[in-house]
């Protein structure tokens, strides 16, 4: 196909993956990043089999799995009497003995994607793009114009300035009332090295610990720790002081409290907020197309954000490959290609937006009756043959619509077997 002049706005996971894939296809890229120095944002996350499959297709699976930690089980419990009651217990092997997740530090994925794009040093940094014009030009916060470009890809995250400036694109764009505090802690013999562990007190308190292994340049194995908190309570939490918070954590989960014993000031815990974004119609307008969280931000409850961003990048690359060889770029052809991309990804993403929206208050909210139903029903539902398969497909990212399945790439299971 004819190489295009493409602008990528944002150098998070979606932007990085797009830069790798589109540069390999010979497109001329200009990447804009609002940070002065691009860097990973966030502590750790869970790569699902879909995300591992995307990286395998990109030829980056070995580079990523040189770091991180294999995750076989997701387990959550709640205090009950003198002990604890299991609320969630899911094992990847229940779907396929060869499947697993991969706990990873943001920095490990960031470095793998950056190294795979040789021109990463040519990013236009410190530039916040706020508007895209009909001719493919971009306007930044200082009023400077860039371009025009054949295609502009908005990969500027959940708080996308381009989405907010493009009228009529999002039918839903809401901030979730609950966020989280998070940090990385050194793994000094955590008792659950291959599990994502969570503890709940009703839906008002949720703590999580995910092993995320090492990252390039740092051989220390780490754990990603998070504490759920309403957005409006961030300031009150800081005023009440770390001692009060540590005492509350110790009462809920003594082992997790030991992990953050070295936290001596509030600033050592980062704050995260989340959005629920649903696009109206196709994810594009003219020469502008949305990708990753800018197109479908959702609660992290199902842990799918990074995985969906990688799949978006692959799908957009594949859609662009369907353009006629050597043909002039016209509006009708581009509209058709971008519409096909949006329809393909919405079939997969839509069910995750639905479930994350409805599951979030089950784990982060103030309705005790809902939490009581969760505690009573989740584990029995997971033991039912049909219920267990459905829950595991949602977990692994392989659910597609209500009844369909998102196929993993052929050969992935054999590749994962090499890392078992």
Q: Which residues partner with 170 through β-bridges?
A: 279
* Mean pLDDT value across residues 79-98: 91
| Chain segment 241-298, per-residue pLDDT in tens | 999 999 999 999 999 999 999 999 999 999 999 999 998 778 999 999 999 999 999 9
Which is higher by pLDDT, 198 or 385? 198
Between the CA of residue 76 and those of 23, 73, 145, what are the distances in Å?
A: 42, 10, 50
Whether 15 contacts 29, CB under 8 Å = no
* Mean pLDDT value across residues 405-420: 88
- pLDDT at residue number 327: 62
DSSP state at residue 291: -
Structural domain spans, the chain: 5-176+274-417
202: left (phi over 0), alpha (psi -120 to 50) or beta: left
- pLDDT at residue number 136: 95
Distance CA(210)–CA(93), nearest Å, equals 18
How many residues are given for the chain?
420
- pLDDT at residue number 388: 82
Question: Integer distance in angstroms from the first to the last C-alpha of the chain?
Answer: 39
Whether 68 contacts 213, CB under 8 Å = yes
* Mean pLDDT value across residues 372-393: 84
| Chain segment 15-55, per-residue pLDDT in tens | 999 999 999 999 999 999 999 999 888 789 999 999 999 99
Instruction: Indicate the helix (H) or strand (E) that contains 199.
Output: strand 195-201
The yes-or-no verdict on residue 168 having pLDDT over 80 is: no
Helix (H, G, I), strand (E, B) or coil at 32: strand
Dihedral sign of CA atoms 59, 62, 68, 74 in order: positive
Q: Which CATH superfamily is domain 5-176+274-417 in?
A: FAD/NAD(P)-binding domain (3.50.50.60)
């Amino acid at each position: 196909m004819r190489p295009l002049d493409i602008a990528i706005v944002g150098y998070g996971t979606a932007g990085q993956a797009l830069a790798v894939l589109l540069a390999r296809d010979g497109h001329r890229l200009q990447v804009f990043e609002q940070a002065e120095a691009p860097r990973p944002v966030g502590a750790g996350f869970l790569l699902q089999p879909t995300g591992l499959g995307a990286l395998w297709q990109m030829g980056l699976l070995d580079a990523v799995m040189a770091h991180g930690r294999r995750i076989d089980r997701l387990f959550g419990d709640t205090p009950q009497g003198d002990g604890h009651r299991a609320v969630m217990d899911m094992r990847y092997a229940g779907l396929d003995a060869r499947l697993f997740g991969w706990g990873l530090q943001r920095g490990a994925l960031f470095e793998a994607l950056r190294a795979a794009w040789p021109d990463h040093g040519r990013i236009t940094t410190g530039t916040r793009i706020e508007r895209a014009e009909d001719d493919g030009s971009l306007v930044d916060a200082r009023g400077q114009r860039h371009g025009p470009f054949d295609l502009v890809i908005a990969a500027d995250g959940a708080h996308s300035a381009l989405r907010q400036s493009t009228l009529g694109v999002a039918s839903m764009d809401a901030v979730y009332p609950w966020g989280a505090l998070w940090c990385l802690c050194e793994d000094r013999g955590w008792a659950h090295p291959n599990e994502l562990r969570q503890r709940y007190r009703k839906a008002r308190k949720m703590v999580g610990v995910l092993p995320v292994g090492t990252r390039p340049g740092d051989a220390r194995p780490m754990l990603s720790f998070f504490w759920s908190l309403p957005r409006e309570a961030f300031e009150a939490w800081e005023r009440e002081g770390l001692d009060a918070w540590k005492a509350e954590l110790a009462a809920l989960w003594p082992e997790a409290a030991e992990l953050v014993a070295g936290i001596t000031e509030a600033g050592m815990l980062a704050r995260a907020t989340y959005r629920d974004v649903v696009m109206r119609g196709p994810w594009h307008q003219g020469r502008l197309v949305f990708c990753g969280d800018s197109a479908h931000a959702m609660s992290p409850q199902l842990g799918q954000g990074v995985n969906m961003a990688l799949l978006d990048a692959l799908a957009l690359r594949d859609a662009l490959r369907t353009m006629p060889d050597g043909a002039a770029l016209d509006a009708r052809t581009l509209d058709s290609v971008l519409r096909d991309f949006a329809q393909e990804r919405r079939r997969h993403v839509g069910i995750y937006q639905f479930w994350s929206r409805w599951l979030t208050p089950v784990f982060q909210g103030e309705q005790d009756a809902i939490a009581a139903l969760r505690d009573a029903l989740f584990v029995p539902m997971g033991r039912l043959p049909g219920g267990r398969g459905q829950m595991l497909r949602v977990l692994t990212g392989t659910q597609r619509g209500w009844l369909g399945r998102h196929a993993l790439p052929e050969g992935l299971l054999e590749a994962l077997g090499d890392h078992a």
